[in-house]
């Protein structure tokens, strides 16, 4: 059975923009079937394993597509992906059983105690299957912007990521930690593909991309025009670590993108694969087992999958694990 990609109605534009092949941009494989729904209902997903991903130009989407293919071939499960605004929308979809699996950042999950969806605490309905790779905070600008350092973002037009995304959460936290409140910048809420287009067209000066590396949109942009990655000062990272505790020092290695001549200091955040607590123990166990048995296949799709380590599956995950995942970890001696 062929992989299906499901879209919320508002994401059709993102699909069209994400598949643009002009100027040598990376092609995104077209799904065999595209469904358009304002919001999926549980009755629609009973016979299909739906993975809530993110922007079509991001790593969540490419790995989600690969995982759907993997589960269909290995587990015999009809599987598909849904394009979303990423972490917070994925939390909602999985919590309300409108998707079986979803990607989210650990810091977004850390907010669950303060959030309630339709009167139900999502922390009580969600379970983690495993920790995944880390997202790197990548601030991209152009040569024409004149931006040389982080504080040069003052007064600039900046994309902080789409609404309901983990990118927006981290971008706004980072700017506030630097004293750059909304009245000191011009803020735009754009997806990865929209941010890249806005940088191309000179409509913004800089954009946050919070994803695995390399990010496909940054890769394409770097082949078309000179870009720069802005380092994040240690004092800002330290403030974020002290306040929230989810972030780790990180480096984007030189030559990750065309024209990048040095390592870029930044920080990272762990990604988590989510499910609902009502998934059966057997199914959850098999999903985790299949994932770890096919990591090499996922790494062929994107190198970020190479950072998924069974020994680190439980590290930095702020919600309870599903009993099926716990069973698999116990069998492999992963206790902490």
pLDDT attached to residue 15: 35
- Backbone dihedral angles phi then psi of residue 131, each to the nearest 5 degrees: -75, 150
CA dist 330 and 336 (Å) reads: 10
Residues 6+ apart with CB under 8 A from 173: 107, 240, 244
Q: What is the CA radius of gyration of the chain?
A: 19
pLDDT attached to residue 119: 57
pLDDT at residue 3 is higher than 50:
no
Q: Is this prediction's pTM over 0.75?
A: yes
CA dist 313 and 24 (Å) reads: 37
Q: How many CA atoms lie within 13 A of 305 on its CB side?
A: 21
Mean pLDDT of the chain: 87
For 30-42, b where at least 16 C-beta lie within 10 A, e where not — what string? ebeeeeeeeebee
CATH of domain 4-133+271-331: 3.40.190.10
Q: Which residues pair with 103 in a beta bridge?
A: 273
Residues 6+ apart with CB under 8 A from 245: none
Q: Is 4 helix (H, G, I), strand (E, B) or coil?
A: strand
Q: What is the pLDDT of residues 62-116, one digit of tens each?
A: 999 999 999 999 999 999 999 999 999 999 999 999 999 999 999 999 988 666 5
Q: What is the pLDDT of residues 254-300, one digit of tens each?
A: 999 999 999 999 999 999 999 999 999 999 999 999 999 999 999 99
* Residue percentage of the chain with pLDDT more than 90: 80
pLDDT attached to residue 97: 95
Q: What is the pLDDT of residues 26-55, one digit of tens each?
A: 333 334 232 333 444 443 446 899 999 999
CA dist 140 and 57 (Å) reads: 15
Q: What is the pLDDT of residues 142-163, one digit of tens each?
A: 999 999 999 999 999 999 999 9
Q: Is 223 helix (H, G, I), strand (E, B) or coil?
A: helix
Q: What is the mean pLDDT of residues 303-311?
A: 97
pLDDT at residue 303 is higher than 80:
yes
Q: Cite the residue boundaries of each domain of the chain with CATH code 3.40.190.10.
A: 4-133+271-331, 135-268
CA dist 313 and 270 (Å) reads: 10
pLDDT attached to residue 16: 33
Q: What is the pLDDT of residues 165-219, one digit of tens each?
A: 999 999 999 999 999 998 999 999 999 999 999 999 999 999 999 999 999 999 9
Q: Looking at 15-19, 279-283, 303-307, which range is the least confident one?
A: 15-19
From the candidate CATH numbers 3.30.870.10, 3.30.70.420, 3.40.190.10, 1.10.3720.10, the one assigned to the domain spanning 135-268: 3.40.190.10
């Amino acid at each position: 059975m062929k992989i299906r990609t499901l879209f919320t109605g508002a994401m059709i534009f993102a699909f069209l923009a994400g598949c643009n092949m002009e100027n040598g941009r990376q092609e995104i494989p077209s799904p065999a079937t595209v469904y358009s729904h304002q919001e999926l209902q549980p009755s629609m997903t009973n016979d299909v394993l739906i993975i809530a991903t993110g922007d079509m130009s991001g790593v969540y989407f490419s790995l989600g597509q690969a995982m759907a293919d993997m589960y269909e071939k290995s587990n015999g499960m009809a599987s598909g992906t849904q394009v979303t605004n990423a972490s917070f929308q994925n939390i909602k979809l999985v919590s309300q059983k409108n998707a079986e699996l979803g990607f989210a950042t650990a810091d977004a999950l850390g907010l669950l105690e303060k959030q309630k969806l339709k009167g139900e605490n999502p922390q009580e309905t969600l379970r983690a299957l495993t920790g995944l790779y880390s997202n790197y905070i990548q601030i991209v600008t152009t040569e024409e912007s004149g931006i040389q350092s982080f504080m040069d973002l003052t007064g600039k037009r900046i994309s902080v990521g789409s609404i309901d995304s983990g990118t927006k959460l981290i971008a706004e936290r980072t700017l506030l930690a630097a004293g750059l409140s909304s009245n000191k910048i011009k803020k735009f809420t754009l997806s990865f593909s929209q941010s890249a287009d806005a940088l191309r067209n000179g409509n913004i000066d800089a954009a946050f991309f919070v994803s695995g590396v390399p990010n496909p949109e940054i890769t394409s942009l770097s082949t078309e025009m000179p870009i720069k990655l802005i380092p994040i000062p240690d004092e800002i990272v330290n403030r974020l670590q002290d306040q929230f505790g989810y972030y780790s020092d990180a480096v984007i290695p030189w030559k990750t993108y065309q024209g990048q001549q040095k390592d870029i200091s930044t920080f990272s955040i762990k990604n988590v694969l989510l499910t609902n607590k009502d998934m059966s123990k057997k199914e959850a166990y098999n999903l985790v087992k299949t994932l770890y048995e096919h990591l090499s296949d996922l790494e062929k799709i994107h190198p970020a999958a190479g950072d998924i380590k069974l020994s680190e599956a439980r590290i930095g995950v702020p919600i309870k694990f599903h009993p099926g995942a716990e069973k698999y970890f116990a069998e492999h001696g992963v206790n902490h």
